[in-house]
Amino acid sequence: MPEGDSIHRIQQLLRPALAGYTVESFWARTLKGHRPRSGMTISEVRAHGKHLLVDFKTPNDRTLTLDTHLGMVGSWRLAAPETKVSGGHDPTIRILITTAAGQAICRRATTIRTFVHDGQEISALPGQLGPDLTTPQPELDLIAKRAERVGASASAVTIAELLLDQKIGAGIGNIYKSETLFLEGVWPFAPVQQIDTSTIRRLYQTAAQLLHTNVKTNRPRQTVEGGGFFVYDRWRLPCRRCGTAVSRAYRGLDPSKQQRSTYWCTVCQPASALP
Ligand SMILES: [Zn+2]
């Protein structure tokens, strides 16, 4: 499941074959916005939270950014330039970018769009993504301010749902959501209104540490030293701290939204421990 750490690994894989090179060919099955063209130079490949961004220089010196979000099953891989994959016969292929150094192949991405802007600032991103959490020092002030706004609004949002909201902080997916809440001893279904700012900051700092650690290493994703997770995907297995069977639920405060799975320990993350 692509979370912020996997997108950074993809960025590290694609960058040497794309950044600084001229586009020999660009193909996309469908795309919202202007299409990058052959002959444009790729100025940078960036990761921001769960989004992979490829910047193309336009003839009038602006930047055309290709934004892809991989959803649950999407992928990017790199093939040798002579491979010459074509998209027409394989319905899973969504984008092909070919340069002299390689061919980047995107399959099954759920969001594919471009936008034109003058810089690389995140404010240029549609949907106003929050600060990237795969860096060791995320912008906690900005994150806390955005979270406070959610807390102050009338909408019913749990802390588990807040962590997944990419407009607050970008990079946390379903795995890091459960793991972060466990590590900080926070009950996942607490309304955001009931959680103080210092706890919010601690949660995002911990999530950033987990994401950053897994970006740096090339091993399979883990949060427990030696491999595996604390609670994620451990329904009914004993909590690694206290031995209580790990709980799982699909719930949030707004029943109209599709609910994601949440794993937690009822003893280490009690509802009564709320500030
Ligand atoms: Zn426990």
Task: Determine the Cα angle at 127 with ends 95 and 136, to 5°.
Answer: 85
> How far does residue 228's CA lie from ligand 1's centre (Å)?
16
> How far does residue 266's CA lie from ligand 1's centre (Å)?
7
219 and 156 within one domain = yes
Q: What is the pLDDT of residue 254?
A: 61
- Tokens 């103080």 correspond to 196
3-state secondary structure of 222: coil
State yes or no: pLDDT of 124 exceeds 60: no
**Does 131 fall in a domain?**
no
Distance of alpha carbon 173 from alpha carbon 177, whole angstroms: 6
Q: Which residues are catalytic?
A: 2-3, 50, 260
Which region among 43-52, 68-77, 257-266 has the lowest average model confidence (pLDDT)?
257-266
Distance of alpha carbon 95 from alpha carbon 44, whole angstroms: 17
The 10s digit of each residue's pLDDT in 217-237 is 777 788 998 889 999 999 999
**Does 135 fall in a domain?**
no
CATH for 60: 3.20.190.10
Nearest Cα to 3, choosing from 242, 240, 222? 222
Range of the domain at 98: 4-124
148 and 119 within one domain = no
42 — phi, psi (to 5°)? Answer: -90, 120
pTM of the shown model:
0.77
Distance of alpha carbon 70 from alpha carbon 108, whole angstroms: 7
Q: What is the pLDDT of residue 253?
A: 58
247 and 167 within one domain = yes
**Does 134 fall in a domain?**
no
247 and 211 within one domain = yes
**Does 50 fall in a domain?**
yes
258 and 145 within one domain = yes
Burial class of residue 94 (count of CB atoms within 10 Å of its CB; 0-12, 13-18, 19+): buried
145 and 107 within one domain = no
Number of domains in the chain: 2
Contact predicate 71/109, CB 8 Å: yes
3-state secondary structure of 218: coil
End position of a domain, from candidates 124, 155, 186: 124
**Does 188 fall in a domain?**
yes
Task: Please name the helix (run of DSSP H) or strand (run of DSSP E) that holds residue 92, with its range, or none.
Answer: none
CATH for 144: 1.10.8.50
**Does 132 fall in a domain?**
no
End position of a domain, from candidates 72, 91, 124: 124
> How far does residue 248's CA lie from ligand 1's centre (Å)?
13
109 and 73 within one domain = yes
Integer CA distances (angstroms), 180 to 208, 217, 262, in order: 9, 19, 11
For the chain, give the number of residues: 275
Task: Determine the Cα angle at 125 with ends 200 and 132, to 5°.
Answer: 35
Q: What is the pLDDT of residue 225?
A: 85
263 and 232 within one domain = yes
267 and 144 within one domain = yes
Contact predicate 26/96, CB 8 Å: yes
> How far does residue 149's CA lie from ligand 1's centre (Å)?
31
> How far does residue 240's CA lie from ligand 1's centre (Å)?
7
> How far does residue 80's CA lie from ligand 1's centre (Å)?
48
**Residue 257 — pLDDT band, cuts 50, 70, 90?**
low
The 10s digit of each residue's pLDDT in 126-144 is 557 888 898 888 899 999 9
63 and 184 within one domain = no
253 and 168 within one domain = yes
**Does 130 fall in a domain?**
no
Bridge partners (DSSP) listed for residue 116:
64
Distance of alpha carbon 3 from alpha carbon 272, whole angstroms: 30
The 10s digit of each residue's pLDDT in 164-187 is 998 899 889 899 999 999 999 999
- CB within 8 Å of 127: residues ≥ 6 apart: 166, 167
The 10s digit of each residue's pLDDT in 16-26 is 999 999 999 99
**Does 133 fall in a domain?**
no
94 and 40 within one domain = yes
- Hey, what amino acid is at 216? K
Which position has the higher pLDDT, 3 or 124? 3
> How far does residue 181's CA lie from ligand 1's centre (Å)?
12
